[in-house]
Amino acid sequence: MHAPQLQTAGIKKKPMSLENLNELPATEIVRMIGDGTTTAEAVTQACLDRISAREDTVKAWAYIDADYALAQARILDEMPERKPLHGLPIGVKDVIDTADMPTQMQSSAYEDHQPRTDAACVAMLRAAGAVILGKTVTCEFAGSFPGPTTNPHNPAHTPGGSSSGSGAAVGDFMVHGAFGTQTGGSVLRPASFCGTVGYKPTYNLINRAGLMFAAENLDTIGLLTRTVDDADLLMSVLLNRDRAAVIPDDAKPKIGLCHTHHWDLALPETISALEDSAKRLEMAGAEIVEIDLPKSFAGLSAARNALNDFERSRVMADLWQNERDHLSANIAKQLANGSAMEFATYQNAVVLANDSRAQLDDVFGDVDVILAPSATGEAPEGLDYTGDPQFQGCWTILHVPTISLPTHTGPRNLPVGIQLVGRRWQDDKLLSWSRWVVDKLGIWR
């Protein structure tokens, strides 16, 4: 594996008046640039200063060029009009193409690989005025073999994967938002471990042109942000829609509490986070009802693994045949499993997934949103293992929108999130109820 490239030329000491620009939410930054309170250059410089101070420890970036980032910002400052994301620094997971930065996928097989065009999602944010700050570290090919990134709250612990760099960069105030991808739990787990909002939309809601697939029936582009409002802002640009509606403060939602079939994996801090959230939301006016998933859903984890291995082995067939020496043992095992898998096994997994999705209306019943564990607990110690994806993967294969909210801390003072799950294609309602939940739990929305 090649070392991440950090180019620091052009980083200057920030003026004291700009000290906290990198810590503000995206919505506030866009407002301040829009009304002239600050500039795109000042915001970008604040992020670069934070990266300069912390990157040796956090190691969140696969590629960043400070001079180029500032040049983007200065061009935006010279424009007479202000765009929806004018001057907002954004990170891009390094499995998503960028025309002006390499896409290397944490693999020596793609060292210095330079795409000719931006991925669709990158192009849309860039057109809306975002500063594409750099490429964030990914596990190899968005799999399980980790890169060098550490948890910003304690470098002895994993940041999660595979969107490790995006979670760590947003969690450490290096950038205001970042793209991630989720095939199992690769957006929500880094979000929970790093203390950010992690939003995985309905499957394929964000256009995937320019993404290196892992498993095309699972892969979903998502967002790591500071707040729910920030995720909503970015989605309004990506989908050309209005911002999600604000739920009245005195609303009385019906929230389904769902432990899932993996409850035995939950550590005390996750149990406490879920129970505390349910209790406090009930006190705020919500009706909390228990939801039990159908027994057949217990097979979804094995089905997701089958889809992942079978489809990944097809996506990476050429690498498996011709560049095997560039692959880690982790991904080689998946490719070997997928290559040897009988089609009937894969087909049965697809059928179970489709049958389960057909039952979702009955699962949700009349609840507004489902409350579930986000991860097993705090980020595990060590950097070789990115954590168990079971609490995220079961919802990923169901294609529903999910979001991790940074609501609690565990015994080691590391973040612990909760997960909210919405109905397919009702992402705006999930974001609206998420905003209501964080308001009632008393965290920055």
Residues 214 and 174: beta-carbon distance below 8 Å = no
Rounded to whole angstroms, how far apart are CA atoms 400 and 410?
27
Strand 254-257 relative to strand 369-373, pairing? parallel
Task: Give the residue among 236, 238, 168 at the shortest CA–CA distance from 208.
Answer: 238
Q: Which two tokens stand for residue 196?
A: 């950010």
Cβ-count burial of 50 within 10 angstroms (0-12 exposed, 13-18 middle, 19+ buried)? buried
Task: Give the residue among 122, 373, 141 at the shortest CA–CA distance from 263.
Answer: 373
Residue 104: enclosing H or E segment and its boundaries? none
Residues 369 and 420: beta-carbon distance below 8 Å = yes
Rounded to whole angstroms, how far apart are CA atoms 265 and 372?
13
Rounded to whole angstroms, how far apart are CA atoms 391 and 260?
8
**Of the listed 166, 186, 301, 313, which one is catalytic?**
186
Look up 164 and say whether it is catalytic: no
Rounded to whole angstroms, how far apart are CA atoms 88 and 235?
14
Task: Give the residue among 45, 99, 131, 420 at the shortest CA–CA distance from 255.
Answer: 420
Look up 272 and say whether it is catalytic: no
Q: Which two tokens stand for residue 5?
A: 């490239």
**Distant-in-sequence contacts of 350-353, Cβ < 8 A, 24+ apart:** 350/217, 350/303, 350/307, 352/296, 352/299, 352/300, 352/303, 353/217, 353/300, 353/303, 353/304, 353/307, 353/397, 353/398
If DSSP codes are grouped into helix, strand and coil, which group holds residue 315? helix
Rounded to whole angstroms, how far apart are CA atoms 8 and 6?
6
Alpha-carbon dihedral angle through residues 276, 279, 283, 285, given to the nearest 10 degrees = 110
Look up 93 and say whether it is catalytic: yes
Residue 408: enclosing H or E segment and its boundaries? strand 402-409
**Of the listed 93, 135, 200, 440, which one is catalytic?**
93
**Of the listed 107, 144, 162, 166, which one is catalytic?**
162
Rounded to whole angstroms, how far apart are CA atoms 299 and 316?
26
C-alpha distances out from residue 298 to 216, 262, 293, 408, Å:
22, 8, 8, 28
What are the residue ranges of helices labelled H in 252-299?
268-283
Catalytic residues: 93, 162, 186
